[in-house]
Amino acid sequence: MPLSRRDFAKRSAYTGAGVALVGSAGVLATAPGALAADKHGPQAAGHGRELGYGPLVPDPEGLLALPAGFSYRIITHCGVTTLESGETTPSNHDGTGTFEGSRGATLLVNNHELKGPRSAWEHPVPLVEGLVYDPAASGGCTVVEVSKHGDHVTEWVGIAGTSTNCAGGTTPWGTWLTCEENTDRAGQNGMTKDHGYVFEVDPHDRRANLAPKPIKALGRFDHEAVVVDTKRGHLYLTEDSAGPNGLFYRWTPPQGFTHGRGKLRGLAEDAGVLAAAKCFDSSGRFVDDLSRATEIGTVYGVDWAPVADRDAKTVPVRKQFGAGEVTRARKLEGLWWADGGAYVVSSFARAESPVAHDGQVWFYDPKRRTLTLKVRFGVNQDPSRDGAFDGPDNITVSPYGGLVIAEDGEGVQHLFGATEDGRTYPIARNDLNIGTAEAPEYSEFTGVVFSPDGRTLFANIQTPGIMVAITGPWRRQHSRG
């Protein structure tokens, strides 16, 4: 049922101060470059201890700058490491999920964001018999097993023949949902099947991945990420698209449906309800685009507008809605489920949006049906300057407090942390120059996620495609209060 103005006004009184992250209030209130009402400097120390882990030390190998005391290991490297079948690791690493393996091992499912025909890529995902959706497509996922002490790595194909596997998300039942950020139809760009779907990959049971089947109930659009509401069973999904900007979606399962391994792929194409978010402010005014919010703590009420044709047979899903029917946002990307809700990233906004910014992080509270703005980065005027964070993309909640964010902006690229009260600090910098000395270029970070035991932070350098495992003296990052 719609959320009334009176209900929203009552609920926003509770949420305006911010939703707690890992048990602390005031999350993400003041990031450098953010618009926030905090009188303290963004890098001030808390409880007498320096924020973060100190300055980044340049890597003599030219790959990854880390704080003193930290180190990294290369887990997979496109064109260098090999799969158990003998082919080299595919390129363009993106979203990644971690799972507990046997005998203390860590299992990771790694997306490969490869778009278009296989001939366009030197290292596409190998077409392993029984694991191929569309033999013309170049993307997919690999599963990586890292032994308990990190001294042995095995990699194999989880799914092949999909397109532009960008982010995705883990499920409470121990699988990975990989998302296609591409909607080519059969016959377009050499494809033999329709794309733009979500697929389930089981890192524990290879047989479960045979005969890949898209989960059409979750719609066909430029999927970015997905999370599962562990209490209600809803799935939330982001769309990274423009012209017009993409949407934030919720899928409600059909009555009586029970989640579990392989259950989603057995659903009918029209099972449940796929709907897009429609936001309004405390005065009941419709909000056309999330970029309108410029104040930290802004709270919007959320209604959900059902999608008429989720398979976009004639009109793309985001174009099926007219003015005033849904709320849009530029580059809706990372999602992470924690604290009873979903953290949602809008990476940046430019001419396609009403108000320019260099990143937002929102929190959707399904109980109150509200979106609260936790951080807003102003436009970065000098992306080449080290230390100016922008362009949040993949995110994860840290076992040491706050968020860890993968940067996908212009210029220098970082992994950085954000504490419960919003201060930020560097964790890693990509030192791998894929441009020239005169015009340096650094690939984005992707797939940031901790191991199940919290001791290792995994992340990817998307181009050419390198997965690293970062270890060191992790410690709790305290808030000021």
DSSP state of 137: B
Q: Is residue 410 a part of any domain in this protein? A: yes
Q: Which helix (H) or strand (E) holds 95?
A: strand 93-100
Q: What pLDDT does residue 270 have? A: 97
- Cα dist. 312→62, 76, 184, 220, 306 in Å? 45, 36, 11, 6, 13
Q: How far apart are CA 430 and CA 445, in angstroms?
A: 8
Q: What pLDDT does residue 9 have? A: 46
Instruction: Identify residue 226 by its one-letter amino acid code.
Output: V
Q: What pLDDT does residue 3 have? A: 54
Name which of 160-169, 173-182, 364-373, 402-411 the model is least confident about: 402-411
Give per-residue pLDDT as tens, 205-253. 999 999 999 999 999 999 999 999 999 999 999 999 999 999 999 999 9
Q: How far apart are CA 175 and CA 77, in angstroms?
A: 24
DSSP state of 289: B
Let me know: does 17 contact 297? Beta carbons within 8 Å.
yes
Q: Is residue 164 a part of any domain in this protein? A: no
Domain around 79:
31-87+380-481
Give per-residue pLDDT as tens, 25-83. 233 333 333 333 233 333 333 344 689 999 999 999 999 999 999 999 999 999 999 99
Q: Is residue 117 a part of any domain in this protein? A: no
Q: Is residue 35 a part of any domain in this protein? A: yes
- pLDDT tier at 481, thresholds 50, 70, 90: low
Q: Give the pLDDT mean for 108-123.
A: 97
Give per-residue pLDDT as tens, 374-431. 888 889 888 888 877 889 999 999 999 999 999 998 889 999 998 877 678 999 999 9
**Secondary structure of residue 220 in the 3-state scheme:** coil
Query: Environment class of residue 341 by beta-carbon count within 10 Å: exposed (0-12), middle (13-18) or buried (19+)?
Result: buried
Q: How far apart are CA 14 and CA 37, in angstroms?
A: 18
Q: How far apart are CA 420 and CA 183, in angstroms?
A: 37
Specify the number of domains making up the chain: 1
Q: Is residue 134 a part of any domain in this protein? A: no
The span from the first CA to the last CA of the chain, in angstroms, equals 39
Q: Mean pLDDT over all residues of the chain?
A: 89
DSSP state of 388: -
Which parts of 181-267 are beta strand (E)? 198-201, 223-228, 235-239, 246-252
- pLDDT tier at 2, thresholds 50, 70, 90: low
Q: What pLDDT does residue 34 have? A: 34
Q: Is residue 404 a part of any domain in this protein? A: yes
Q: What pLDDT does residue 5 have? A: 43
- Cα dist. 31→52, 211, 407, 468, 479 in Å? 14, 45, 14, 26, 13
Q: What pLDDT does residue 478 have? A: 76
Q: Is residue 122 a part of any domain in this protein? A: no
Q: What pLDDT does residue 39 have? A: 31
Q: What pLDDT does residue 29 have? A: 34
Give per-residue pLDDT as tens, 80-110. 999 999 999 999 999 999 999 999 999 999 9
Q: Is residue 172 a part of any domain in this protein? A: no
Let me know: does 31 contact 422? Beta carbons within 8 Å.
yes
